[in-house]
Structure 1
Amino acid sequence: MFAAHSKALERQEIIQLLKLKGTERTALLQRAREVKIKEVGNKVYFRGLIEFSNVCSKDCLYCGIRKGNEKVLRYDAKDDEILNACRFAWENRFASVVLQSGELSSPAFVKRVDDLLKKIKQLSNNELGITLSCGEQSLETYRRWFESGAHRYLLRIESSTRELYYKIHPENDHHSFEKRLEALASLKQAGYQVGTGVMIGLPFQTYEHLADDLLFFKKIDIDMCGMGPYIEHADTPLYEHRHVLMSKQERFDLALNMVAVLRLLMPDINIAAATALQAIDPAGREKALAVGANVIMPNLTPCEYREEYQLYENKPCLDEDAELCRNCLEARISLAGAEIGYGEWGDSKHFHQRNKTNIILRNHQQK
């Protein structure tokens, strides 16, 4: 069923794999697990997630914290609260944190993130790895943040098909498909390990769209990926199309198929087990770890803010403090038969392999 060189999967093969059910699907998931263990090992890497602000300038049609949702109580966590969460991650050997927020690009926001990066590096003796997920910025801003200590960046494309992109975003200059692509290119130019991802099971989405998403990831040569099932939110425009959705279980199963096929297509990248999986299945994240994912994000956001950072409904772990969240994930990962890479950044092997290849090529050209 699987090509000897899965990395060479063609579009039609990918579509067929995404549709698999029953014993053939079980074989796909098992194959993805084998490839994961061979290529990146059986370790799971923590990224302590700090959702430090839900203030957003965007009006994406699927998102619970979109600018136009007046029911959301907006917040900006204080610097001390953010730094305390980072200190917890450092002291508990998570090794890495993710700073995530709504999309803003004002000079004040850019400076604040820059200052936080420097303080996080200082408090952790430069030991904490830092991923940012703060939306579209200029190349200059990306470089500034990189120089201040961020080295991974997640910017989800949500759909790599332009037509579908504009079914889930307003079609205007502030929600430009081309600007999103440009931002991903700028991140690579600035030196980051670059991650992107999509929602799975959107209204109007087809298996062909999802196959194209996976091929898009390979084409732009990503280093990491975060993708999960689309879960509707009542306070969003896209909610009116809920009647055309697959069932949540179908979206969940398809999301696991996407993780598995991506692991075959790009064997040495980092793949996150999305929290949205757990919103459908209590063991959702463990199931993703078992079929190809190798990164998990314990939520370190102060509990008083978590309810206001709901991009989708039924988000799990809203009332667990950082200690509870860590203990819970330790148990879950153990049950999934994996080990935690405590004290390790767990950087993308794909990123380092590409850099090594580029250095060899440059040296060869200079001879």
Structure 2
Amino acid sequence: MKTWIDRLRREHTLAPEAYRRLLATADAQAVDYLHRQAREVAHSKFGNDIYIRGLIEVGNRCRNNCLYCGIRAANTSVARYELTKDEILDSCRKGHELGFRTFVLQGGEKQGCYAKWEDVVSTIRRTYPDCAITLSLGEMEREEYEGLFRAGADRYLLRHETYNAAHYRMLHPETMSREDRLKCLQWLKETGYQTGTGIMVGSPGQTLDHLVEDICFIERFRPQMIGIGPFIPQKDTPFRNWPSGSADLTLRLLSIFRLMFPEALIPATTALSTLLPDGKQKGILAGANVVMPNLSPAACRSSYALYDNKAAEGTEAVEGLALLRKQLDRIGYRISTARGDYRSPTHATDKQANRQESSSEDK
């Protein structure tokens, strides 16, 4: 195991069977070594800085019916909401005053909202030129992605959840397509976004072979952001009785991706903190370098119910920023208020040049 881990750190790739063995091993010392190597790599790139992102859950209305998701369109039990432009900007104002320099706008997937998001993004860009804007609003047309990029968005997160076609079909309705999701990811990359994808660990029907397929896809795709979180059931979905995913497996994957992509932006997710009281700390000690406290209006947070018992207080919320600092300090880390953009030593792109080029083509 140690030989494979050393090779992954050195060469950033392994054979599929080696990935499978790393995920399956019961050797606690090997797992500890994997996390230690990932932690060392993260520290070599980012020091003891952990980037904070202000998460704004802009709305829970969604056109899709993903079988695992609590805000699926067919769920009539959830209280629906959609933040106004002023509410979003107020959340940004509060975050900026507290030192946040990245805002993450996340919400259910809707059609016909492009004009609103273009207006919101361009206003945030004008108001906070020193901040990065990350979007996680689902699948759109290529022209819409390009328009939001020109308006000022910097990053886009679109988790593919599972690469295996049969597994994807098990988790999603017929109206959704794995091919469409992968096509959108390619469009985002070609547009010039710092692009993120990721997987849900332990989702219904998932096997280790599926996870190896995910690893190999992410290795080929080379995202700048990677989101890894455990599946957690939600009481109003068809998978309400399915067991939660493994935190241990989630942490192993986090470390594998840190060794594969030393410069990647990898969060210690809220789902991990929901599953484990110390999930955020364990994620960081396994190689994560991003946390995303919730900047959403407090009255809306419980309605963004992707899964049951979602952590929304304490260090998961902006109100717990002081506590977050103390927790990070106890494990030797500190909050960084820098934008925290992805910086590849060999594949760096000039985001502003890409945006200007896209704008020129429209004239």
Would you call these one fold, judging by a TM-score over 0.5? Answer: yes
**1:147 paired to 2:150:** yes
Mapped contact 2:226–2:267 kept (Cα < 8 A): yes
In the alignment, structure 1 segments of 5+ residues that lack a partner are: 358-367
Instruction: Give 1:285's aligned residue.
Output: 280
Question: In the alignment, is residue 9 of structure 1 matched against residue 2 of structure 2?
Answer: no
2-structure distance, mates of 1:146, 1:332: 35
> Does 1:163 pair with 2:166?
yes
Deviation, 1:87, is 0.9
The one-letter amino acid of 2:123's match is K
What is the correspondence of 1:254-269 to structure 2 with a 5 Å cutoff? 254-269=249-264
- Contact 2:313/2:320 (<8 A) preserved: no
Q: For residues 102-161 of structure 1, what are the alpha-carbon distances to aligned partners after superposition, in whole Å with 9 as ceiling and x for unaligned?
A: 00121xx1111111111112222x111100000001111011101111010000101011
Q: Deviations over 1:184-231 (max 9, x none)?
A: 011011110000111001121111111211111111111111111100
Distance 1:29 1:83 in 2: 39
Aligned with residue 345 of structure 1, among 339, 344, 349: 339
Do residues 271 (structure 1) and 274 (structure 2) align?
Answer: no
Distance 1:322 1:3, change over 3 A: closer
Shift of 1:92: 1.7
Secondary structure, counterpart of 1:156 in structure 2: coil
Structure 2 SS opposite 1:255:
helix
Cross-structure match for 2:177: 176
**Residue 237 of structure 1: how far off its partner (Å):** 1.1
Q: Is the 8 A contact 1:168 1:238 kept in 2?
A: no
Report the equivalent of 2:123: 119
Q: What does 1:1-367 align with in structure 2 at a 5 Å threshold? A: 1=2, 2-4=5-7, 5-21=10-26, 22-106=28-112, 109-124=113-128, 126-172=129-175, 175-240=176-241, 242=242, 245=243, 248=244, 251-318=246-313, 323-342=318-337, 344-350=338-344, 353-355=346-348
* Partner SS, residue 86 of structure 1: helix
| Structure 2 residue identity aligned to 1:139 | R
- Separation (CA, whole Å) in 2 of partners of 1:144 and 1:178: 22
The answer on whether the counterparts of 2:101 and 2:130 sit within 8 Å (CA) in structure 1 is yes
Partner of 1:363 in structure 2?
A: none
Distance 2:318 2:108 in 1: 25
Structure 1 residues 34-59: Cα deviation after superposition (integer angstroms, max 9, x where no partner): 11112343311111000011010000
Of residues 65-74 and 329-338 in structure 1, the stretch that sits farther from structure 2 once superposed is 329-338
Indicate if the aligned counterparts of 1:40 and 1:349 stay in contact, CA closer than 8 A: no
* Number of aligned residues: 344
Q: What is the letter of the counterpart of residue 131 of structure 1?
A: T
- The answer on whether the counterparts of 1:303 and 1:320 sit within 8 Å (CA) in structure 2 is no
TM-aligned CA deviation for residue 6 of structure 1: 4.3
Contact 1:303–1:318 (Cα < 8 Å) also in 2? no
* Matching residue's letter, 2:211: L
TM-score (norm 2): 0.91
Query: Alignment partner of 1:340: what SS?
Result: strand
Q: What SS does structure 2 have at the residue aligned with 1:8?
A: coil
> Which amino acid in 2 is paired with 1:258?
L
Shift of 1:348: 1.2
Mean alpha-carbon deviation: is it higher for 88-97 or for 126-135?
A: 88-97
Q: TM-score, normalized by length of structure 1?
A: 0.90
| Residue of structure 2 in register with 1:361 after alignment | none
Q: Would the aligned equivalents of 1:287 and 1:336 in 2 still touch at CA under 8 Å? A: no
Does the CA contact (< 8 Å) of 2:197 and 2:223 recur in 1? Answer: yes
Q: Which sits farther off after the overlay, 298-307 or 264-273?
A: 264-273
* Contact 1:307-1:318 at 8 Å conserved across structures: no
Provide the C-alpha distance between the structure 2 equivalents of 1:323 and 1:30, rounded to a whole number of angstroms. Answer: 29
What root-mean-square deviation, in Å, do the aligned CA atoms of Structure 1 and Structure 2 show?
1.8
Whole-angstrom CA distance in 1 between matches of 2:105 and 2:327: 24
**Which runs of 5 or more residues in structure 2 are unaligned?**
351-363
Q: 1:46 to 1:319 in 2, by over 3 A?
A: closer
Distance 2:195 2:11 in 1: 22
| Aligned residue identity for 1:76 | E
> How has the CA–CA distance of structure 1 residues 127 and 312 changed in structure 2, closer, same or farther, with 3 Å as cutoff?
same
Contact 1:156 1:226 in 2 (8 A): yes
Which residue identity does 2:99 align to in structure 1? R
**Pairwise CA distance, 1:78:** 2.0
Question: Is the 1:159–1:165 Cα contact (8 Å) retained in structure 2?
Answer: yes
Residue identity matched to 2:207? T
Structure 1 residues 356 and 78 mapped into 2: Cα distance closer, same or farther (>3 Å)? closer
Aligned residue type for 1:164? H
d(CA) in 2 for partners of 1:312 and 1:322? 17
**What percentage of residue pairs aligned between the two structures are identical?**
38
Between the aligned partners of 1:71 and 1:323, the Cα distance in structure 2 is 27
The 2-side partners of 1:354 and 1:10 are apart by 23
Question: Deviation above 3 Å: which 4+ runs of structure 1?
Answer: 318-323
Counterparts of 1:320 and 1:356 in 2: how far apart (Å)? 33
